[in-house]
Chain A
């Protein structure tokens, strides 16, 4: 695969706050790559540097091997889909999409062909004469995508384009975006703080926090083999425990020695142990590797989410079997369900569900979104 954009040692700070701290990132042709992280992690700034709206303090960006930073935004072969679409209210749907072609002074018949092609791609045929302000959020979204794609950029930058849509529409648009990317063959760089969105659409996910890249990988890699507590917690739900690597494929936590599949750590090295909630089996108490008391049960439709107190550490377990509060149960964990990570600055910060509540989680998500704006 051809490398299309290469970021090297990108650093950027605003008013003394470091927003990007030595970012290195390669982006390949025809790839759907997602920058994922909480608000303030630097993902949008990275995007704006590629688009040309910000200049980094240091570092280089190359585009097909050529320096990109010396070019102003209008000379870069990348287009952006903005978070609030940034459609031009004084132009109708047709003229919004035709805008980049008119700027290039393309002939009218060519403009007409291309705009109609785009309208077809985003399924908005027949909307040509409509005012953009009369469209629904999803329709505006698609006009914005059509407008950004009509001049055939090499790379499309999408800055949280789905954040303003409701949940149902969001799912549809995720599929749609994926389809459009496949159909157009253009590299998509997608920014989001929604991990589900990232996992479902991307070829590559870049997890960012505090101006640094935490992990780059396919969605499956990122989910199954998080490299530190931050990634493990940010992607899906995780129980993260302090453990000690006794030897290759043997780890101890909660005073119990487990078999695992990881190797290559030092003898008796302290590690973070990750166990996904859906990977824990509930067994009768006497058959369990660990024993605990159920302290909370939440019904979520597909499964129950139960909180289990094991020696003071609260586990989250997702199960289709019903157990009642105060029930004593045993936990059983397969060796390949255990992921071992090196200790990092995020160790001990995540992975204990002592103060967990669904509501609380949603609240903090909402806050993150507000901050982003």
Chain B
């Protein structure tokens, strides 16, 4: 008996640990003084301070709250009305039918709801000839749609539990049907309404999937913003934010439970009868609240400025945004534009997480962006598909001075008609000097070195992993010959016993903490790791002769509404101040001569970084065109996937 009781207790404890350990870890690391995920370097409120300085994230928080509050209120009113309607139906079959129909959206996978809503908005938008059909309103409609059934689900049972003679009694005692509803039915079902409201609010607050499909120009909610940060690591600011959100929702939950236990029918302390004066005051307070909320929404919607709006679509965390005392590029542009062109402009800035996300959003035709910053291979694809507009270089006078020959004539835009390069980087090998002999370094062989068995990390993504083998063997990464791909596979199989694990983002942790000694990754990310490496780790970096290069470049998509403004923006991004700020923020290579020839910049980055990021630039175009990944045809892609699976099954 004793052992059974004990193991039951242990089991319960284990479940609690599993449930709450992640949140506790998040909470602890939100107070970390350093950036590292693995090393706790003393407590501080640094990230909370940073969070409240990050205007873009706070904007996303504001958007999220605005959306959640509006969606919750509207869906609660509509849902309550619907529940009352369903409840009053005389036909039992009709009632059952409505009940089932309203439940379907709850069972329906979010992704289907999201896609179908997007489709509908785009379709209806086209019907009315709107250039962009996704905006705050479509997102609001989407959120109301998925919150509604939950409200009905909360309110309907309260109506069914209510003595049906209550409203009759109220009418009998002199109430009009409306008054009977307001004075008697509403107070009776209030606990259901409040729970429905809170549920709708939290559902809307943390919805990602449906928001992702229905969000439009510039209206970015918090979950989408956090997701888009994954090109680089999620900053610990987000731990701070998540901690705040967690406690907010916890508070709401406790509140809603309290409301439920004080519901009618349960013994409760004697209710104080409000005097007429108090009631009047309450009514005034309620009125003020409603006016404020309406005002907030009105300002948000009607108060939209009549000055031109530029829609910029970029990777998450890919612009200097004023956080950590950096330069605010967006504000800088708005100011610069006014000084140089004499009129106001507003930038609507949103982010994406991958080239493919960006592509599908633009291809849907539901949004319109003026400037986008995709990667090389995606530029090639979009150019071929006619999704880019040629740039008018007269509007980008900085181009000639800033972009040297090294960064011209690249394969994705051989005549330099469509793009202005923004950042570049390349893959190199990161090694821990505490564990690896320097003489073993220099080329790809290090990743196949028996000496470091069990200390090597490999990409957990087929293209990057195959490329390491192809570069090592001297093969072309863009070849379509199956025999060559097979040869690369054999090489990877030979490496497999030495590999500690196949990783993507986990690489930061494992390298920073010294858990692994060798990995290949992007140059810019190496600096991030060095910044937060543990005391017992000494990370170094070198670039093998043959390796992958990528460039992200600014382009104007064909959905652009403000081409000249977009070109002005691109021109501004080449100006010295924003360009340096962005290069320092992103820590990738910058193809702008004003940046890499600037002494202050060189000093700020340090000698090592300058050497790594800016090797012999004369050869850049040549190497890029030879070694960079290009789009593979579908047959080859299938082959790569098959071979990759073969490797992973072993």
Given contacts A53-B168, A148-B173, contact A134 B267 (CB under 8 A): yes
Please, what's the 1-or-0 string for A124-142, where 1 marks a CB less than 8 Å from any CB in chain B?
A: 0000011101100000000
- Decide: B173 and A147 in contact? CB cutoff 8 A: yes
- Decide: B265 and A86 in contact? CB cutoff 8 A: no
Contact partners of B267 in chain A: CB under 8 A: 133-134
- Decide: B176 and A90 in contact? CB cutoff 8 A: no
Given contacts A89-B188, A90-B188, contact A103 B273 (CB under 8 A): no
Contact partners of B170 in chain A: CB under 8 A: 88, 99
Q: Is the C-beta of A187 less than 8 angstroms from some C-beta in chain B?
A: no
Given contacts A80-B172, A95-B273, contact A86 B165 (CB under 8 A): yes
Contact partners of B173 in chain A: CB under 8 A: 74, 79, 99-100, 103, 147-148, 151
Given contacts A82-B168, A84-B163, A86-B168, contact A104 B174 (CB under 8 A): yes
Which residue of chain A has its CB nearest to the CB of B168? A53
Q: How far is the CB of B210 from chain A (nearest CB, A)?
A: 36
Contact partners of B179 in chain A: CB under 8 A: 103
Q: How far is the CB of B150 from chain A (nearest CB, A)?
A: 24
Q: Is the C-beta of B307 less than 8 angstroms from some C-beta in chain A?
A: no
Interface centre among B169, B268, B273 (most CB of A within 10 A): B169
- Decide: B184 and A88 in contact? CB cutoff 8 A: yes
Please, what's the 1-or-0 string for B150-190, where 1 marks a CB less than 8 Å from any CB in chain A?
A: 00000000000001011011111111110110011001101
Q: Which of A80, A89, A103 contacts B264 (CB 8 A)?
A: A89
Determine the distance from Cα of A237 to Cα of B172 in the docked complex, in whole angstroms.
Answer: 38
Given contacts A89-B264, A92-B270, contact A82 B169 (CB under 8 A): yes
- Decide: A94 and B273 in contact? CB cutoff 8 A: yes
- Decide: A74 and B187 in contact? CB cutoff 8 A: no
Given contacts A88-B184, A90-B188, A133-B265, contact A80 B169 (CB under 8 A): yes
Determine the distance from Cα of A89 to Cα of B188 in the docked complex, in whole angstroms.
Answer: 7
- Decide: A103 and B174 in contact? CB cutoff 8 A: yes
Q: Is the C-beta of B5 less than 8 angstroms from some C-beta in chain A?
A: no
Determine the distance from Cα of A263 to Cα of B190 in the docked complex, in whole angstroms.
Answer: 67
- Give the interface SS of chain A, mostly helix, strand, loop or mixed: mixed
Determine the distance from Cα of A148 to Cα of B168 in the docked complex, in whole angstroms.
Answer: 12
Q: Is the C-beta of B271 less than 8 angstroms from some C-beta in chain A?
A: yes
Q: Is the C-beta of A72 less than 8 angstroms from some C-beta in chain B?
A: yes
Contact partners of A148 in chain B: CB under 8 A: 172-173
Given contacts A74-B175, A100-B174, contact A129 B270 (CB under 8 A): yes
Determine the distance from Cα of A315 to Cα of B276 in the docked complex, in whole angstroms.
Answer: 68
Q: How far is the CB of A68 from chain B (nearest CB, A)?
A: 14
Q: Which of B169, B177, B190 contacts A86 (CB 8 A)?
A: B169
Determine the distance from Cα of A133 to Cα of B183 in the docked complex, in whole angstroms.
Answer: 18
Q: How far is the CB of B191 from chain A (nearest CB, A)?
A: 10
Q: How far is the CB of A288 from chain B (nearest CB, A)?
A: 55
Please, what's the 1-or-0 string for A63-102, where 1 marks a CB less than 8 Å from any CB in chain B?
A: 0000000001110001110111010111010110001100
Given contacts A73-B171, A73-B172, A103-B179, contact A131 B166 (CB under 8 A): no
- Decide: B264 and A90 in contact? CB cutoff 8 A: yes
Q: How far is the CB of A9 from chain B (nearest CB, A)?
A: 25
Given contacts A86-B166, A92-B273, contact A133 B264 (CB under 8 A): yes
Contact partners of A130 in chain B: CB under 8 A: 270
Determine the distance from Cα of A129 to Cα of B270 in the docked complex, in whole angstroms.
Answer: 7
Number of contacting residues on B, CB 8 A?
28
Q: How far is the CB of A51 from chain B (nearest CB, A)?
A: 6
Contact partners of A99 in chain B: CB under 8 A: 170, 173
Please, what's the 1-or-0 string for B320-357, where 1 marks a CB less than 8 Å from any CB in chain A?
A: 00000000000000000000000000000000000000
Determine the distance from Cα of A90 to Cα of B176 in the docked complex, in whole angstroms.
Answer: 19
Of residues 233 to 278 in B, which have CB atoms within 8 Å of A's CB atoms?
A: 264-265, 267-268, 270-271, 273, 276
Contact partners of A268 in chain B: CB under 8 A: none
Of residues 176 to 233 in B, which have CB atoms within 8 Å of A's CB atoms?
A: 176-177, 179-180, 183-184, 187-188, 190
Contact partners of A73 in chain B: CB under 8 A: 168, 171-172
- Decide: B276 and A108 in contact? CB cutoff 8 A: yes
Q: Which of B169, B171, B184, B265 contacts A72 (CB 8 A)?
A: B171
Q: How far is the CB of B34 from chain A (nearest CB, A)?
A: 55
Q: How far is the CB of B20 from chain A (nearest CB, A)?
A: 37
Which residue of chain A has its CB nearest to the CB of B179? A103
Which residue of chain A has its CB nearest to the CB of B174? A103
- Decide: B172 and A74 in contact? CB cutoff 8 A: yes
Please, what's the 1-or-0 string for A225-265, where 1 marks a CB less than 8 Å from any CB in chain B?
A: 00000000000000000000000000000000000000000
- Decide: A82 and B165 in contact? CB cutoff 8 A: yes
Q: How far is the CB of A312 from chain B (nearest CB, A)?
A: 49
Determine the distance from Cα of A219 to Cα of B276 in the docked complex, in whole angstroms.
Answer: 49
Given contacts A92-B273, A131-B271, A133-B264, contact A86 B174 (CB under 8 A): no
Given contacts A82-B165, A88-B184, A90-B264, contact A131 B270 (CB under 8 A): yes
Q: How far is the CB of B183 from chain A (nearest CB, A)?
A: 8
Contact partners of A103 in chain B: CB under 8 A: 173-175, 179, 183
Contact partners of A131 in chain B: CB under 8 A: 268, 270-271
Contact partners of A72 in chain B: CB under 8 A: 171, 176-177
Which residue of chain B has its CB nearest to the CB of A75? B174
Determine the distance from Cα of A131 to Cα of B268 in the docked complex, in whole angstroms.
Answer: 8
Q: How far is the CB of B262 from chain A (nearest CB, A)?
A: 11
Contact partners of B188 in chain A: CB under 8 A: 88-90
Which residue of chain B has its CB nearest to the CB of A87? B169
Which residue of chain A has its CB nearest to the CB of B270? A129
Contact partners of B176 in chain A: CB under 8 A: 72, 74
Q: How far is the CB of B178 from chain A (nearest CB, A)?
A: 11
Determine the distance from Cα of A83 to Cα of B169 in the docked complex, in whole angstroms.
Answer: 11
Q: How far is the CB of B644 from chain A (nearest CB, A)?
A: 64
Determine the distance from Cα of A131 to Cα of B170 in the docked complex, in whole angstroms.
Answer: 18
Which residue of chain B has its CB nearest to the CB of A90? B187
Determine the distance from Cα of A53 to Cα of B267 in the docked complex, in whole angstroms.
Answer: 32
Interface centre among B172, B175, B176, B276 (most CB of A within 10 A): B172
Which residue of chain A has its CB nearest to the CB of B186? A90
- Decide: A79 and B172 in contact? CB cutoff 8 A: yes
Of residues 269 to 300 in B, which have CB atoms within 8 Å of A's CB atoms?
A: 270-271, 273, 276
Which residue of chain A has its CB nearest to the CB of B172? A80
Determine the distance from Cα of A90 to Cα of B264 in the docked complex, in whole angstroms.
Answer: 6
Determine the distance from Cα of A103 to Cα of B172 in the docked complex, in whole angstroms.
Answer: 11
Q: How far is the CB of A224 from chain B (nearest CB, A)?
A: 37
Contact partners of A90 in chain B: CB under 8 A: 187-188, 190, 264
- Decide: A88 and B166 in contact? CB cutoff 8 A: yes
Q: How far is the CB of B460 from chain A (nearest CB, A)?
A: 59
Contact partners of B270 in chain A: CB under 8 A: 92, 129-131
Interface centre among A72, A103, A108, A129 (most CB of B within 10 A): A103
Q: How far is the CB of A333 from chain B (nearest CB, A)?
A: 48
Q: How far is the CB of B385 from chain A (nearest CB, A)?
A: 63
Determine the distance from Cα of A130 to Cα of B174 in the docked complex, in whole angstroms.
Answer: 24
Contact partners of B166 in chain A: CB under 8 A: 86, 88
Determine the distance from Cα of A92 to Cα of B276 in the docked complex, in whole angstroms.
Answer: 16
Q: How far is the CB of B268 from chain A (nearest CB, A)?
A: 7
Contact partners of A104 in chain B: CB under 8 A: 174
Contact partners of B169 in chain A: CB under 8 A: 80, 82, 86, 88
CB-CB nearest 6 A-B residue pairs: A89-B264, A86-B169, A100-B173, A90-B187, A86-B165, A73-B171
20 contacts between A and B (CB under 8 A): A52-B171, A53-B168, A72-B177, A73-B168, A80-B168, A80-B169, A82-B168, A83-B165, A86-B169, A88-B169, A88-B187, A90-B188, A90-B190, A92-B271, A92-B273, A103-B173, A103-B175, A103-B183, A129-B270, A131-B270
- Given contacts A52-B171, A72-B176, A147-B173, 12 further A-B pairs with CB under 8 A are A72-B177, A74-B171, A74-B174, A79-B173, A86-B166, A86-B169, A89-B188, A90-B264, A100-B174, A129-B273, A130-B270, A134-B267
- A: residues with CB less than 8 A from B are 51-53, 72-74, 78-80, 82-84, 86, 88-90, 92, 94-95, 99-100, 103-104, 108, 129-131, 133-134, 147-148, 151
- B: residues with CB less than 8 A from A are 163, 165-166, 168-177, 179-180, 183-184, 187-188, 190, 264-265, 267-268, 270-271, 273, 276
